[in-house]
């Protein structure tokens, strides 16, 4: 089963968010505003639901579409491999807060890679349009 967003946060998520709220980079705040659009998250949800015929209603709970999108955005903005993304999100509380992983287990690189294939570049291009501001430099769109 796939959810659009995580409905309930754990106790640890609140502690992480409180501690790192002032450490977030400027582009993360801009990305939060862009990702508040339900249409963007719905596009990710639809792409993930197409992987298997009954993904929406059967099976164990998968990662929420919002978290998947945020992980892939962080990967592309930082130009990391899937392995580097897994390592950095696991070790960094700011990235955990931004991606909404929070206190949960970080998805492994192979799983994140599968999500990337399922989404394809079209969904990320919709979010990371040229001009997307990232910490002093504008995203050019050529990194996808």
Record the pTM: 0.79
- Cα–Cα distance between 73 and 1 in angstroms, integer? 22
Q: What are phi and psi of 133, to 5 degrees?
A: -75, 130
Domain-located, residue 47: yes
Range of the domain at 38: 11-134
How many domains, the chain? 1
The model's pLDDT over 52-87, given as tens digits with 9 standing for 90+, comes to 776 666 666 778 889 999 999 999 889 999 999 999
The model's pLDDT over 111-135, given as tens digits with 9 standing for 90+, comes to 999 999 988 887 777 777 655 555 4
pLDDT at 138 over 90: no
Domain-located, residue 4: no
Q: Are 122 and 46 in contact (CB under 8 A)?
A: no
Domain-located, residue 143: no
Per-residue model confidence (pLDDT) at position 3: 61
């Amino acid at each position: 089963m796939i959810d659009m967003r995580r409905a309930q946060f754990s106790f640890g998520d609140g502690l992480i968010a409180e501690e790192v709220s002032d450490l977030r980079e400027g582009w993360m705040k801009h990305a939060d505003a862009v990702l508040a659009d339900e249409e963007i998250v719905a596009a990710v949800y639809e792409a993930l639901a197409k992987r298997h015929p009954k993904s929406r209603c059967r099976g164990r709970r998968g990662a929420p579409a919002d978290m998947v999108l945020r992980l892939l955005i962080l990967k592309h903005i930082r130009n990391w491999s899937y392995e580097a993304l897994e390592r950095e999100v696991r070790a960094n509380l700011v990235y955990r807060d931004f991606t909404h992983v929070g206190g949960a287990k970080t998805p492994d690189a192979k799983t994140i890679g599968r999500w990337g294939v399922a989404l394809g570049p079209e969904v990320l291009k919709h979010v990371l349009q040229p001009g997307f501001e990232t910490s002093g430099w504008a995203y050019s769109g050529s990194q996808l």
